[in-house]
Structure 1
C-alpha cells in the first residue's frame, strides 16, 4: 500500500496542474453526492428526536451528536490522510457516515432513542469528511489560487445540499411505502449518497493530491535546498499565528451557524409550518453556505483573508438580527435570515481554510487540518446542544440575536492579526 502511493504521485509529477484539474473533477462529483447526504439528515434530525422524546429541550441533541461524531472523525480522517493520503482518509469517512445513516433508520423503526443518538454520532462522520474534502482541493493549488480551489470543492456541495432537503418529503413518502417511519426517509438518501461518494473517491481520486504535493515539494527542495530551508523557517514562524486565527474564524462561524440553523425547523414547526416548508428554508440556507463559494474564493484571493474574515462576522450579525425579528409565520424572512447565515459561514470557512493552508507546512498539513476541524466540530456540537436548551429556556429570537452578537468577537482578533502584519 505504502509503496504504490509514491509511484502514483511520481507518474503525474510532470504536470501537477493537470493532476489538479483531475482531482477537482473527482472531488466535485463526490461532493455533490455527499452534499445530499449531509443536507437530508440536517433537515429532519431535530424533528426525529423531538418526535421520539416529545420535548423541544433535547431537539438540539441530534445536531450536537453528529457534530461531536464529526470531531472524532476529523481526527481519524486527518491521521489516515497524513499517513496514507487523502483518498483512503476521505473514502473511510464517507463510508462511516453511510453506516451511521443505516443506524438512524434502524433506530426509527425500533423507536429507540438510545440507538438513535448513537447512530447520529456515527452519522457525523459524513459531516466531517464533507468539510475535510476542501483541504484536498487546495493541496496542489498555487498559493494565489488556493481559496478558489477550496471554493470549487465547496460549491459542488450546493447541488446535493439544495436537493437533499427538498427530497425530505418524497423520501418520507417512500419510507412509508416501505413500511418505515416517515422521518427515516431522508436518512435512506443519506446512506446511499455517502456510500456512493466513498466509492467515487476510492476508485477515481488518482493521483492522490496530498501525496503528489509532497513529491513535488521534495523535488523542489532538492533543486533549491537553501531557498526551501528559508521558506520552511518562515512558514513555521507564520504558521503558529495563522493556525490560531484561521481556527478561531472557523470555530465561531460554525458555532453561530449550527445553533441558529438547528432550531429553525423546530421554530417553524411550532408556528404551523410543515416539513416541506422547513426543507425549503434549509435548502436555501445550505445553498447560501456553498453556492457563493467561487465568488468568495475570488474575494479572498484578491482582497485578502482578513477582510473577508471580518465580513463573515458582520454578515452573521445581520442574519441573527433578522432571524430574531422575523415573524414566525414569514417563510420569506426566515429564508432570507438563513441565507445570510449561510453566506456568513461561507465567508468564514473559505477565508479560515485559506489562512490555515497558507501557513501549515506539507509535512504536518493533514494532521493539523484534522485537529483544527476537531475544534470546529466541537464548536458545532456546542452550538447544537445549547440551541435547544436556550430556546426552551428563552426563545428562538433570543437564540438568534445572541448568536449574531457573538460573531462580532471575530473583529478584534482579525484586527490584531492584521496590525501585527
Structure 2
C-alpha cells in the first residue's frame, strides 16, 4: 500500500474531509430537525435529503467530469460546499426548517463528487494495484468518523444558536480540502468513453454479475442508511441517551464501516468475494437481533458496529464484482446506472427512516429490513452455487 502514487494519498485525505460532511449531517441534522420541524416525524428529513441529493446528482457530476475533467470538478465542489454551509447557518439561525432541508439536499452534490474519488484513485494506478487503491481511499472514512462528530460537538455552543459554530468548523475542513486538491494531478484526463460496444444496456444489466454486484451494494447501503439514520433520533431524542454517547456509537459505526478495508483483500483471497458478501448479510442479521433485544447503550453500540462491518463486506464485494459485468468502453454508462440505483434506493431508505421510527418504533425499523436481507441471502447463495 505504501508504494501507491501521490494521487491516491491526496484522494484519501480529501475523502476523510469530504466524508466528514456526511457523518456530520447524520449526527446533527436529525437533532436540529427535531427542534425546527413543525412535524416530529419529519425531523430526519434533512438527513434524507442529502441522500436524495446524492442520488439526483450522481449522473450530472460524472457528466461534468467528462466535460471539464476530474480536478476542476473536485475543486469546484469544495467552493460549492462552503457556500452551502453558509446557507445552512442562515437557515438554522432563522429557524427555517425547509430551507435547511433544501441546503442539505444541495449538499448531496458534494457527496456525489466524493463518490468519484475511488474511481479517480483506480485511474491513477496499474490494474493490479486497484484493490489496494480503493481500500486506501475508503480508509479516509476512518478519519471522518472522528472529524465529523468532533467538529459537531466542539462547535455546538460557540454561538447563541446551537451547532452554528459546528458548521463554521465544517467549512474550514473544505478550505483544507481545496488546498490539498490543488496538488492532485490526474494520470489520464477523464473523459466519457466512446461506446463502441454492440451490447445494449439491457443486455449488460441482465448479467448475473451485474445483478449480484448492484444488489449487494444496494442492500448494504439501504439497510445501513435506514438503521443509521434512525439511530440518533431513537437514541438521543426518544431514549434520552446523551449526545456524547450518541456520538461514540456513531463514531464506532463509521470506524467499523471502513477499518475492515485494511484486511478486505486478505479476506477475499481466503474466502472469495461471494462468501465475504454472505458474511456481510449474516452480520446484518446479528446486528438486528442485538438492537432488538434492548435499548441499552451497549446494544446500540454493538448493533451499529456490526452494521458497519456488514456494510463494508457487501459494498466492497459489490464494487469489486461490478467490473466483471462490463468492458472498458462500457464503464461510464454501467457505473452511472450502478451509482444511481444504489444511492437512489438509499435515498428512499433515509427518507422513510424518520417516519418509521416516530410513527411506529425502533423495533419496527429493525424488523422492516429483514425481508430484504433474506432476498439478498438467497441471491448470494444462488450465485455461490452457480460459480462454485
What's the TM-score, normalizing by structure 1? 0.82
Deviation at 1:62, TM superposition (A): 1.5
Kindly tell me: are residues 238 and 355 of structure 1, through their superposed partners in 2, closer, same or farther at Cα, counting changes over 3 Å?
Answer: farther
Aligned-partner SS, 1:173:
coil
Matches of residues 211-230 of structure 1 in structure 2 within 5 Å?
Answer: 211=190
Establish whether residue 37 from structure 1 lines up as the match of residue 21 from structure 2: yes
1:167 match: secondary structure: helix
Q: Is 1:60 the equivalent of 2:44?
A: yes
Q: Counterpart in 1 of 2:60?
A: 76
**Distance (whole Å) between structure 2 residues aligned to residue 21 and residue 267 of structure 1:** 43
**Structure 1 residue 55, shift from structure 2 partner:** 3.9
Q: 1:187 and 1:41, CA in 2 relative to 1: closer, same or farther beyond 3 A?
A: farther
Question: Is the contact between residue 162 and residue 283 of structure 1 (CA under 8 Å) also seen in structure 2?
Answer: yes
Deviation at 1:94, TM superposition (A): 4.3
Alignment counterpart, residue 186 of structure 2, candidates 204, 207, 223: 207
Distance 1:321 1:404, change over 3 A: farther
- Gap change, CA 1:191 and 1:246, over 3 Å in 2: farther
**Alpha-carbon shift at residue 54 of structure 1 (Å):** 5.2
CA drift of 1:284 comes to 0.9
Q: Which residue of 1 aligns with 2:262?
A: 294
Q: 1:84 to 1:302 in 2, by over 3 A?
A: farther
Counterpart in the other structure of 1:278:
246
1:191 matched to 2:171:
yes
Structure 2 match to 1:307 = 275
1:322 Cα deviation from its structure 2 partner: 1.4
| Distance in structure 1 (CA, Å) of the matches to 2:171 and 2:329 | 34
Q: What is the root-mean-square deviation in Å for CA atoms of aligned residues? A: 2.9
Partner of 2:156: 172
Matched residue of 2:119: which SS?
Answer: helix
1:116-161 CA-to-partner distances (Å, cap 9, x unmatched) read 1110101122322333212222234455543332111101121122
Q: Which runs of 5+ in 1 are unaligned?
A: 1-16, 219-228
Tell me which of 296, 300, 304 is aligned to 1:334. 300
1:97 paired residue number: 81
CA contact (8 A) 2:287 2:307 kept: yes
In 1, Cα distance between the equivalents of 2:77 and 2:254?
Answer: 21
Render the CA deviation track for 1:225-273: whole Å, top value 9, x for unaligned.
Answer: xxxx9xx899x98775233322211111111111111111111122222
2:5 pairs, out of 13, 21, 34, with 21
More helix, by proportion:
1
In the alignment, is the contact (CA less than 8 A) between 2:293 and 2:299 conserved in 1?
A: no
Structure 2: where are the runs of 5+ without partners? Answer: none
Q: What do the CA deviations read for 1:272-321 (whole angstroms, capped 9, x no partner)?
A: 22222211111111111112212124323553322222222111121122
In structure 1, C-alpha distance between the alignment counterparts of 2:136 and 2:174, rounded to whole Å: 19
Q: Does 1:160 align with 2:139?
A: no
Q: Which moved more, 1:20-29 or 1:103-112?
A: 20-29
TM score, norm. by length of structure 2: 0.88
Match of 1:249 in 2: 216
Task: Please name the residue that 1:12 is paired with.
Answer: none
Q: CA offset at residue 44 of structure 1?
A: 0.4
